[in-house]
Amino acid sequence: MNVSQQYSKTELSSMGQVELESRALIRTAAALNNIKENWEERKEELPEALEKNRRLWTILASAVGEDTCPQPVEVRKNIMNLALFVFQRTIHTLAEPKAEDLNVLININMNIAKGLSAHEEAPDEQK
């Protein structure tokens, strides 16, 4: 393991769950955006990027489906509905790939990441 990988592993282990989720959403949104912005050169990477995004949303949906999830029921329902939409959009985009169809997936990921970041910062503001 090189120094960079070791640093990344240490950095990840010190992050809270919310920050990890936020960063994962941003990373997958960035990968999808990179494909969208460089469509002709990168469209072959689309299935793998969509699969990573789908797996991330599967994890998020599973987490809010747990009885121990601390989120209010309404938030949990909204995340589940978003996950279902992401899954449907993923299938549609795989069947008929178009760069502009990635916008909605990118926007969802970025907005949820923004909400998670705001949630993470809120306790500090109360001190």
Q: Binning pLDDT at 50, 70 and 90, where does residue 126 land?
A: very low
Query: Quick one: pLDDT at residue 1?
Result: 57
pLDDT by residue (tens digit) across 33-74? 999 999 999 999 999 999 999 999 999 999 989 888 888 899
For residues 1-14, give the mean pLDDT.
47
Ordered DSSP codes for 17-42: HHHHHHHHHHHHHHHHHHHHHTHHHH
* Cα distance from N-terminal residue to C-terminal residue, the chain: 39
pLDDT by residue (tens digit) across 101-123? 999 999 999 999 998 877 655 55
CATH 1.20.120 holds for 20-125: yes
Lowest mean pLDDT of 13-17, 18-22, 82-86, name the range: 13-17
CB–CB of 15/23 below 8 Å? Answer: yes
d(CA 84, CA 61) in angstroms, rounded, equals: 9
Query: Quick one: pLDDT at residue 26?
Result: 97
Between 10 and 99, the higher pLDDT residue? 99
d(CA 64, CA 78) in angstroms, rounded, equals: 10
Asked whether the CA dihedral 71, 69, 29, 54 is positive or negative, the reply is: negative
pLDDT higher than threshold 80 for residue 21: yes
Q: Which two tokens stand for residue 51?
A: 């699969």
- Nearest to 32, CA basis, from 111, 126, 99: 99
- Nearest to 80, CA basis, from 88, 121, 110: 88
Please report, for the chain, the start and end positions of each structural domain, with discontinuous segments joined by +: 20-125
d(CA 111, CA 103) in angstroms, rounded, equals: 12
